[in-house]
Structure formats: structure tokens, C-alpha cells
Structure 1
Amino acid sequence: MSVAGRHALVLGATGFVGRHLVLALGRAGVRVSAACRSRESYRRLAEWLAEHGHEAAPADLRVDFAGPSLIDGEAGDVTEVYNCAGAYRFGMPADEARRANVDSVRAVVAFAARLPRLRRLVHVSGYRVGGQDPRPWSEEQRRKAYRALGAYEASKVEADAVFRSEAERLDVPWSVVNPASVIGDSVTGEAGQYLGLASTLRDLWQGALAAVPGNARTFVPVVAVDHLARFMTLLPMDETTERASYWLLDDDTPALPGLIGLVAEHYRVRAPRLRVPVPLVKRLPRRLTNADPETLTFLSADRYPTGPARAVAARHALTMPDTVTTIRRWADHLAAHRFGEAPDGDRRFTDVGGVRTFELGEQGAPAVVLPGLPVNADTWAPVVTLMGRARAADLPGLGMSTGGRDDWAAWLAALVTGTGARHLVGHSIGTAAAVEAAAAQPGAVDRLTLVAPFFLQPRPAPTPRLVAQAYLRGVSARALARRLTGDPAHADALESSVADLRRGTAGAVARLLTAAAARGWRTSLRAALARYPGDVHVVVGSRDPLAPEGLALVDTLPRVTVTVIPGAGHHPQLTHPERVAEALGADGPSPGARAGQPFRPLSTIPRVK
């Protein structure tokens, strides 16, 4: 059958594997229908596909796994069905897990048996549960399995057996894929789920992984989601794959301690040296191990029969992407998106002057926000979005960037000359970085915008560094919001900053806070600003004004604008994001970026000489 004659129905199309499968089928030229539970979930799928360059949305069909017909919509000419549906969640009650993962399989096989043109029903199982005896389970067997494995894994084991027994009984042509831990896209690292191995990497990133469970042979294999999706699209076209199961994973995945060490090196954090045998982990209280009991059965030295899958891939010239590279890209994506806690958007790690740097916003945009203390780039995300062609980057050693104050010179030079930063927007301590960059590369920096420039404002009373560090390590988001803005209502916007401080940036922040009070640095920054020949825009809150000597310096600058935001303090991006975006957009233009925004006039004093 040619591609033109194929019509694929994808169940679970909005899930992590399902949406990548829809994308792979579409790119292969296959007509696709997506079975979604609601119009809203279909809309999200269509938007995701469009964001990934696939404008031709699949047909929208409704699925009800408890309904008599399963599918509401035209599916009579479907030639292949892919079952990616099910619940991937630990801690479910047994009856819930069985409804989601076992009863749904029965419904899918029964539906497929009624399709007159069906060539293949492809079912996604799992590498630890595939290949089960397809004979019906007794109640005693079911009780033992659910007690030993936990509801999630036991339901997947039972579903694997039910699928094959029902497919054989109803004479449905079938194939099963048993993927390992499915990780991010091999090119972008993009992921959509944060359970299992991803939660281990989260603990590693946050400094909460005290020990590695298992031993030197513990094997938790992985497979890239895009490779899995491409492999699945091949099965209906290959007659040799009918009534066969395929374990899809990389046999060369590093053993678990090596995998964690690989990611630790990439994250530039310390890998735990302690290893705890799985039997001991099972006996320890969960409050100590932070391990879900249902995940422990995955910690095994077992190996899997990957030969048949490798043969199919070779027959169709499908090459498995390099797993180490994929792991690193996946780890980057997980951390950049704060393991699912960050809002959607363009977020990434990049190398700037040898410093692993976190950025958000449009990659390569000419306007770059350099955040202040003790906050991070995330606090500027709403402003960056409103500005349009803009990005924010955590300074070395702050937020989620590595490095430190000694890296500023090389980092700023690379930022300006290597990434196209022409308009530097510094906030608080970031104004020092912006001025130093302009002083070193005056011809490369077109504009400086200085938001709450500390060196032009009253000098703060010095705080002992260790006192500041201890405070920052233990401060809550609510307390920090009250201290920075006077209003704890801004706590949500500071959760990520507090997480970064606890993860290890409190020391760097405390050192810079001490430096910011030093007269010598403040004097040198004022002198460097006075020499800068380009456009300067100073933005301050009415509750956080310039000092008299700062205003006197600003009056001497040849091309300068001062904007005062009424009611704002030292962190206007938290309290007045729309007004800050309006001010920055005025001298960092993006045509149409602010259309329709209900901005109120600012107090702006142009000083052009």
C-alpha cells in the first residue's frame, strides 16, 4: 500500500509519544486522524503541531473509552491504528489503573476488529512489561501482580497480555513496541513528561540527590521520542512485523551511575558518590529516599532482546540517534523548563564565552535584558514577551547560568560580538554589566537602557556577606516578595528565583550585593557611563529615584531619556511589567509587538543635547 492510501488513527494523540507520532506520520505523508477526549485537547495538539512546522492539522475525532463505539466520527477507511493511550502515573488505585490501561486496551482491540481496511494495530507497551503470557489472568494472579509491582506497572503488564490475547481472538493484525524510558527529541531535547528518570535528574539539578540507587550494573535504558515515533510509522508497511513485539532502546545507554555522572558533568554539579542497593531503598522510609516504591522495579541489571527492532530499523535505513548527545539535550530541556514548572516559551541553555548560559525569549534578538539581584531571567519573562524581539539572559553565576564575576568580561564580549546583542537592558546589578560591556565594546552597543541603576542611586548600607548569604538561602518566595516589592502577592513570580538561591546562587548574590555598596566600583561605573557616546535610557520607579549625584551625571549625557514609572520601586518588572515593556519598547522597537496593549502614559523626560 502506498503512503497515499494510508489513513492512521492515533489514540492518545495529545500525550508525549502520541503527538510526536502524529508529527512523524504527517511528515511521512500519511493522512492522520487524532482521537481526542475534547475539542480543547485537540486544539492544543494542533497548536503544538503548527509550532513544530506541521500546519496540516489531523482530523479531529472524539474518543470515549467507556462508550459503545469508542470513536465518534468517520473512521471507516482507517488502515492503521496506534494505541498510545493510557495513564502514566504512579500511586494510582488499582481500579483506576485497570480502567485506564487494561479496559481501554480491550475497547481498542474490539474497535479495530470492526475496521474493514485495517492493516495493523500498533500498541505501545513497555520494556519491563512486554512479552507477557497472553493467557487470561486469574484473580489470584492479578492480586499478586498488583501487590508486587504496584498499580501502574501491574496494569501495564496485564494490558500487554490482554492486548495480544484479544487481538488473536478477534484476528486483528497487531504489532507491539516496548520502548525504554522515553526521553526528549534527539535534535531539540524537547520533553513533555517529568516522571521516572526525569525526576531523578530534577533531584540532581536541585542538589537533592544524595545517593544513586542500585549498583554499577543497574540499567535504565532510554530511547529518543522522535526515533520511537519514526519506528512506529514503519510497522504497518512491513509485513514481517505483523504479530511481533519490538524492544526499542539503546543497548549502549550508560549504566545508571554513569548516566547520572554524565548529566552531572553537563549540569556542572556534583554527582553523588554513594550508592544504595535497591533492597535497602525498599526498606528505608520514603521520606528519606524520596523514591516512589513503584519506580524501584525499574532498577534492574536486566538486558532486553533488541535484535529484532534493530533489524527492522536497518531494513528501512532508520538510524538510532546518538544517545549520549540526546541525553544531554534532554537534560538541558528539562532544566531550562524547570522540570515542567516553568511556563511554555522559548527557553534554552547556550554557550556564551565558555559560560553555560540560560536565556529566554527570541534567540539572537538584538535587545538583551541582564537581570538584577536577587532575581533571575524568569522574572523578566512577561516584559520580554511584551517587547517582542527581546531575550533575557542570566548573568554568570546567577539564575541558572554557570560561572561567576570573573567571567563577566569574556562573557559580555561574546554576548555583544557573538550573539548580536545591540541593545543592552540592565536591571540593578545588570546595569553594571551593561555599562562594562558598552565601555569595552562602544562601537558594538547601540543603546543602553538602565533600569534601577544602583550606581546612580543612593548607596545602600553594607550588609555582611555571610548574613546576606544565610538569609537568601532560607528566604521564602512570600518573604522575598514582601522585601523586594512590599507586597507578598508577587510571591509566585519569585518562586524560581528562590529555587535558584537554594540551589546554590545565594553565595554569588551575596558577594555582588556587597560589591554593589563599594564606592570604588560605583565611581568607575559612573565614569564609564559618562564616556559612552550612544543612546542612554534610564528607567526608575517613583519610589526608587536617582540620587542627586546620579541625576547630575545623567544631565551631562549627550543623548539620554529618563522614564519614571509612578508607584514602582526597585523591581518594576514584578510590579509594573506592562509599563516597563512600554518604556523599553520605546527605544528597543519591534513593529507591532505592543499592539493593543492598554498602556497608560509614563512620566518621561527627554534630555537630548
Structure 2
Amino acid sequence: MTATTDPAPGAGGRHALVFGATGFIGRHLVLALGRAGVRVSTANRSAASHRRLARWLAEHGHDEPPADLRADFTAPARLVGDECGDVTEVYNCAGAYRFGMAADEARRANVDGVRAVVAFAARLPRLRRLVHVSGYRVGGQDPAVWSAERRRTAYRALGAYEASKAEADALFQAEAARLGVPWTIVNPPTVIGDSGTGESDQYLGLAATVRDLWRGALPAVPGNARTFVPVVAVDHLARFMARLPLDEEAEGTAYWLLDDATPALPDLLGLVAEHYRVRAPRARIPVSLVRRLPRWLTKADPETLTFLSEDRYPTASASAFAAKHGLAVPDTAATIRRWADHLAAHRFGEVPAAGRRFTAPGGFRTFELGEPGAPTVVLPGLPVNADTWAPVVAALGDARAVDLPGLGMSPGGRGDWAAWLAALADETGARHLVGHSIGAAAAVEAAAARPDAVDRLTLVAPFFLQDRTANAAAPLVRLYLRRASSKALAERLTGTAEHAAALESSAADLRRGTAAEAARLLGAAARPRWRADLRAALRRYPGPVHVVAGSEDPPAADLMAAFPQVTVTIIEGAGHHPQLTHPDEVARAVRAAAPGPLAGGAARGHDGW
């Protein structure tokens, strides 16, 4: 498979060299250039970084990797040679985007690097344009080499990151003019995810605020009703940049590429809160007060506070350029929602693995992981989430796990089950339901309602086929779950702290607000009427049923006597959560309904989880 061709004019004869190609903007730029039919080379620190870039490009439909040129970004002139003689455009996406740097570190990355790139570009015989990524808060500097006094003042006022970018903007213009290098600057605001997928791996700045909103850790919005933190979709920025060398009028021009219609910060966070179905903070705190409060209280990096401004920016030239070149601006609100989904699905960088997303069967916002549209669907138990089933899903291959409404990362509750389960079967192709504990109840209810749509049931540790559990008071259970650490959960669920790491996300979800629904469902699971109804529905289900249980937590022999047609597999040494302790054995059992004997005699009790 080759790259998709974007019919941008003038692609013939173009050879682009990209510095910072492995970064967030750089990757998308290489992709956009490849889709425009431009030959691309990338300056990389190592072969390993180039391999990571090539793998990412292949995952995004561009199988032809760019040429790999080795570069030390402090001395990129080492790239000069036959492989660069026909370079027509250079893009500088390199630099350090990090708060808390020392001034010397920031200058080496963002100022010295710019000086070296301009010097390198000046030696290219066929160069048409050098495109530099600056920033919306620092762009438009007077072209000059800063004095020591100006540097001290700026770095003290702005912090190392923003000051180094401002100094780099001034130096870039001055050096390009001195060396006769044709240039264009693009000044992006906060760069958020792809407009179609939301994909992003940037978790600083606005993304960190969205993270706090998701976790219920944002008591107040900094700034006021007019605070403006504009955004741009990374793919739109990349397409814009890819066209800059084609336009002679863009030479010597700086473009502020941002959407003036970006909601003010309180409205933007309200938009995300509504999408997440969490409460948006109503209180606002002036930036001047945030500066005076201790950092341990505000948890705000001082360097981020200068971005909380009411300022507006000169966007007319960028809008005119986009219109001239047929670049439609993606819908900002839709892009923000998709970006917010991607951030949450990957737990704000804590789980970078692919195959994680939010879906909406029947209009119900649902988190799932695994293969999209896979017929085998895991419905997790209590009080854990779909993440605890990730190893099993990976071992199965053509499978996915979804968080039930109100659990894990899915909003909702027990009252949504009927419509949600029907949509899961009818709309998403769920043919084989693997229900764990409380998820087994959901699987049986789905099969009872849609016996023609559900081909097969696998019930892992089904509580209604075990002896009745104790019914603890829901408020006490809720309180315990909201406060339980991953270590405490692991000891409670598996008898050892060994699996605490696998329960970190479950503990985080319970703290975030799912403890109440988990406690309600635990109470419901103890009710004899519901357990009897589930057994009756299971008896009526005409399809094959496979029960998987641990030897330390088997189904009750007297209850199983009523289901002679059910295949049973016992996993030796496992308890009520075999997906945590024996994931490979669970995967094998789900794949092959191998019959096995019930573990000797009377069933042991369990804690209902």
C-alpha cells in the first residue's frame, strides 16, 4: 500500500526535509507531505527513532517510509551531502515543549537549534522555503539577536519555555534575513488531536486541564469568562504547512493558524464536561490570584499561566491562505470532543496502547478496547473495568471488552442495560458474549432479549450460579470502593497485592465516581429474585453456554444440576477474578469450550465481587 495522494498542485519535484519529524506535529506533517506526493527525508537522532516514525506512518496508511538522515540537532550541517542537494523545502518542527526547564536547557533546544537549522538551510542550492514552527503567544518578534539584558528580563517574566520560543522567533527572522534564506513562520496555538480521530499524544497545557476535569480534580476554572485558549487540529496544521512552499506570497510571512471561534476557556471546558458527562466547575479564579497561591495548592505550573489571556490574534492572513488553497477548517467543537475522547480512552498517556476508543451503541457513550466490531465481546465484572481484561482480549485476538454503563469509563447505569445491550447485539455485531460476574448477568439478559442475535454465551464466575453472597450495606461498600487503593483491591479480589498494578485504573475509576453504581450492583447481585430470574432466563436460552470458573470459586453443584447442557471449565488455583491471575488460561477456555469437572463437592462461598 502506498500513500494516499492529495491532489495539491506543484508536488512534482518537491523534496522536503523535516527536522523534528518524530514529534507530534512533525509526524503529521510527514504524513501530509506524503499524501501530497512530496518526497520526504527526515533528520533523526537514531535509527530507532526513524523506525518508530516509519511504524507510525504505516499504521496511518503511509507504508513508504521517508529517507533516514542522521542528525545531531545541535549541528545539523552534518547532513549536507548528495542526499540533501535537491532538497527544495525544509521544515523545522524540532524543539523542546516542556515546562520547568532551566534557561540553558531551553535555549539549547529552541534557540541554538534554530540557529543551526537556518545555517544549514542557507547551504542548500535548490531551497525554495524554510518553514519554522513558532507559537501564537511568541510569534511576531522583531528580527534581532537578543541582548543579555533582554534575555534575562524575558526569561524571568515568561519562564524558560515561552521565553526561549520568543527568542527563537526573533533569531530565526534575523538569521534568515542575514543569510538570504526564504522563510515562512507558522504560529499555532494549542495543537489538539486529529480532526477525524482525535489522536494526540500531547498531555501538557490544556490537555492537563482536561485531565483534571475528567478526574473530578478541577474545582475552579482559571481566568474569566473571556479567557481565550485557542486550538487547532494537528492534521489541519500539517496540511496548511505542506502548502506553504507552493505559494510565493507566503514568503516572509508569519501565519497565526487558529480558530477565532474556539470557545472561551470556561465554555470550552463546559463543552468537554458535557461530553464526558461530568460536572463542569462553576467557580472561576483570577490568574493573578493563582500566581499568588502556593503551587502545591493550585497544582498549576507557573509557566502555563501566561497562556491564560484574553488576547486575540491576527488570523486574517491564515484564513485567506487556507481559503485560497481549498483548506476547509475542521469543526472545532467536534474536534475538541474527539480529542477529549482520545485523551480519556488512553487515560491521558498512562495507557498509550492502540485499540482503545469510545463508541456509542444506541447513543450510549461506551468505552471499549480491542478489535473494533469483533464478534466476541467481554462484559467485565465488579468492581473492575475493561482494562483488567486487556491481556485476555489481546490473547484472543478477534475480541473486545466494553465497560458496562456506569462502570469503568462508561457513563450511565443499570437502567440503561436493556437498550444498551440490544444496541450492542444489533448494531455492533456482538455474537459471542463473555460475561464476568455481574457482566454474566448482562450477557444472559442480552441473550434472553435477543436470542437470535447472540450465538453463544461464556459466563466467567457467574454469581447467580454460586451460593448467595452476603449483602453489605451499599453506603459502606461505596465508601470503601471510593477510598480503596489498587493494593487493597488486589488483596481483596485475589488474596495478594501482586496484581495491584493491573488494578490501578479500576481504583482510579472508582475514585472518579463509579463506586456508587458498583455498590448498587453488588447489592442487586445478592437479591434472590434477580438471581432466580437470571437462572430461568439461562435455561430458556437455546444457544451453547460455557461456564468458566476458578477452583477456588466454583459454581454451586446443586444449582449446576439444573443445567446439564452447560459446558464447564475449571481453572485450577483461580478465584473469582481469573482474568487477573490466570489470563492465558481464561483466553484458552474462551476460545475452546473444553468440558471439565466441577471442583470437588460443595461449592465454596465468595465475597460477591
Tell me if 1:167 matches 2:176.
Answer: yes
Structure 1, residues 21-72: CA drift from partner, whole Å, max 9, x if none?
A: 0000000000001111111111111111111111111111111023373438
Structure 1, residues 102-153: CA drift from partner, whole Å, max 9, x if none?
A: 1111111111111111111100000000010111111111111111101110
Match of 1:598 in 2: none
Match of 2:596 in 1: 604
Match of 2:580 in 1: 574
Change (3 A) 1:106 1:516: same
Q: 368-377 or 413-422, which moves further after superposition? A: 413-422
Match of 2:458 in 1: 449
Structure 1, residues 383-424: CA drift from partner, whole Å, max 9, x if none?
A: 111111111110010011111001111111111111111100
Look up the SS of the partner of 1:33 in the other structure. Answer: strand
- Counterparts of 1:314 and 1:194 in 2: how far apart (Å)? 31
Deviation of 1:575 after TM superposition, in Å, equals 1.1
1:504-523 superposed matches below 5 A = 504-523=513-532
Match of 2:601 in 1: none
CA contact (8 A) 1:70 1:107 kept: no
Match of 2:309 in 1: 300
Match of 2:48 in 1: 40
Match of 1:393 in 2: 402
Look up the SS of the partner of 1:409 in the other structure. Answer: helix
- Counterparts of 2:563 and 2:411 in 1: how far apart (Å)? 33
1:367-378 superposed matches below 5 A = 367-378=376-387
CA contact (8 A) 1:374 1:497 kept: yes
Look up the SS of the partner of 2:84 in the other structure. Answer: coil
Deviation of 1:166 after TM superposition, in Å, equals 0.8
Tell me if 1:538 matches 2:547.
Answer: yes
Which residue identity is paired with 1:22? V
1:228-377 superposed matches below 5 A = 228-377=237-386
Which residue identity is paired with 2:495? G
Deviation of 1:348 after TM superposition, in Å, equals 1.2
Deviation of 1:549 after TM superposition, in Å, equals 2.2
- Counterparts of 1:356 and 1:3 in 2: how far apart (Å)? 42
Deviation of 1:544 after TM superposition, in Å, equals 1.1
Deviation of 1:551 after TM superposition, in Å, equals 2.4
Match of 1:585 in 2: 591
- Counterparts of 1:30 and 1:108 in 2: how far apart (Å)? 21
Structure 1 unmatched ranges of 5 or more: 588-601
Deviation of 1:576 after TM superposition, in Å, equals 1.1
Match of 1:30 in 2: 38
Tell me if 1:424 matches 2:438.
Answer: no
Which residue identity is paired with 2:582? H
Moved over 4 A (4+): none
Deviation of 1:245 after TM superposition, in Å, equals 0.4
Correspondent of 1:489 among 480, 488, 498: 498
Match of 1:591 in 2: none
- Counterparts of 1:575 and 1:56 in 2: how far apart (Å)? 42
- Counterparts of 1:442 and 1:217 in 2: how far apart (Å)? 55
CA contact (8 A) 1:566 1:603 kept: no
Change (3 A) 1:363 1:544: same
CA contact (8 A) 2:359 2:367 kept: yes
CA contact (8 A) 1:63 1:72 kept: no
- Counterparts of 1:66 and 1:265 in 2: how far apart (Å)? 46
CA contact (8 A) 1:469 1:509 kept: yes
CA RMSD of aligned residues (A): 1.4
Percent identical among aligned pairs is: 74
Which residue identity is paired with 2:38? V
- Residue-pair matches, total: 589
Which residue identity is paired with 1:579? E
Which residue identity is paired with 1:261? G
Look up the SS of the partner of 1:484 in the other structure. Answer: helix
Deviation of 1:553 after TM superposition, in Å, equals 2.6
- Counterparts of 2:592 and 2:57 in 1: how far apart (Å)? 34
Look up the SS of the partner of 1:353 in the other structure. Answer: helix
Structure 2 unmatched ranges of 5 or more: 1-8, 599-609
Correspondent of 1:75 among 84, 95, 105: 84
Match of 1:596 in 2: none
Look up the SS of the partner of 2:561 in the other structure. Answer: helix
Match of 2:6 in 1: none
CA contact (8 A) 1:62 1:72 kept: no
1:43-192 superposed matches below 5 A = 43-67=51-75, 69-71=77-79, 74-192=83-201
CA contact (8 A) 2:388 2:502 kept: yes
- Counterparts of 2:339 and 2:432 in 1: how far apart (Å)? 31
CA contact (8 A) 2:90 2:129 kept: yes
- Counterparts of 2:186 and 2:409 in 1: how far apart (Å)? 37
Match of 2:224 in 1: 215
- Counterparts of 2:64 and 2:163 in 1: how far apart (Å)? 38
Tell me if 1:474 matches 2:480.
Answer: no
Correspondent of 1:529 among 512, 519, 538: 538
CA contact (8 A) 1:387 1:585 kept: yes
Correspondent of 1:565 among 534, 554, 571: 571
Q: 353-362 or 445-454, which moves further after superposition? A: 353-362
- Counterparts of 1:94 and 1:258 in 2: how far apart (Å)? 34
- Counterparts of 1:368 and 1:2 in 2: how far apart (Å)? 48
Change (3 A) 1:72 1:465: farther
Match of 2:5 in 1: none
Deviation of 1:509 after TM superposition, in Å, equals 0.4
- Counterparts of 2:233 and 2:375 in 1: how far apart (Å)? 33
Tell me if 1:383 matches 2:389.
Answer: no
CA contact (8 A) 1:70 1:108 kept: no
Q: Give the structure-1-normalised TM-score.
A: 0.95
- Counterparts of 1:113 and 1:350 in 2: how far apart (Å)? 50
Look up the SS of the partner of 1:69 in the other structure. Answer: helix
